[in-house]
Amino acid sequence: MHLVFSHGHLSSPQSNKIKRLTPLAQAHGCQTLALDYRDLRDDPGGRVDRLCHQLRQFDQPALLVGSSMGGYVSVAAACRVPVRGLFLLAPALYMNSRYPEAELIEQDYPVQSGPISVIHGWHDELIPWQNALRFARARDAALHLLATDHSMHDAMDIIENCFESFLLEALKSKH
């Protein structure tokens, strides 16, 4: 099973979140890949295209993990290519003024996915937690609202627990 990480706008494939979650995914038998989008820093559409290209190289649907802009990229890709599951950290969804996604917003992100888990901070200073609620509610996804900010650095232990639960559900899913 392939698992692909998509980092945030100003982050990298060596981010703290990716470093912390990679060993858990590998312990569950996942082959992990952290795509590098730094050359596409201000091009969310280009990031989505890159992820979709990668997903089409696999022989079966992959699991996607995305943080912030990487969450948006993961969701937008899952609207084009079926995926095994989505694990989203403070996903930058419904950010009309920042991302070219009008057609996806009108359709409320029609993802083709197995289990979905969303983690968001009550005190996120960049992306309102209400956006995560809107997305999760529309697809009966697991939603974890934590007492943290956008970076979520102080919530990594909880995030790891949520990620492990997500992996167990996604790996047994028939999707």
Q: Mind giving me the DSSP string for 95-146?
A: -TTTS--HHHHHTT----BS-EEEEEETT-SSS-HHHHHHHHHHTT-EEEEE
For the segment 16-33, the average pLDDT, to the nearest whole number, is: 97
CB 29, CB 1: distance < 8 Å: yes
| Averaged confidence pLDDT in the chain | 93
pLDDT, one tens digit per residue, over 111-166 is 999 999 999 999 999 999 999 999 999 999 999 999 999 999 999 999 999 999 99
pTM for this model (two decimals): 0.95
Position 107 confidence tier, pLDDT thresholds 50, 70, 90: low
| pLDDT score for 103 | 64
| pLDDT score for 102 | 61
| Alpha carbon distance 142, 67 (integer Å) | 16
| CATH class of the region 2-172 | alpha beta
| pLDDT score for 101 | 65
Lowest mean pLDDT among 105-109, 145-149, 150-154, 167-171: 105-109
| Alpha carbon distance 138, 94 (integer Å) | 13
pLDDT, one tens digit per residue, over 62-81 is 999 999 999 999 999 999 99
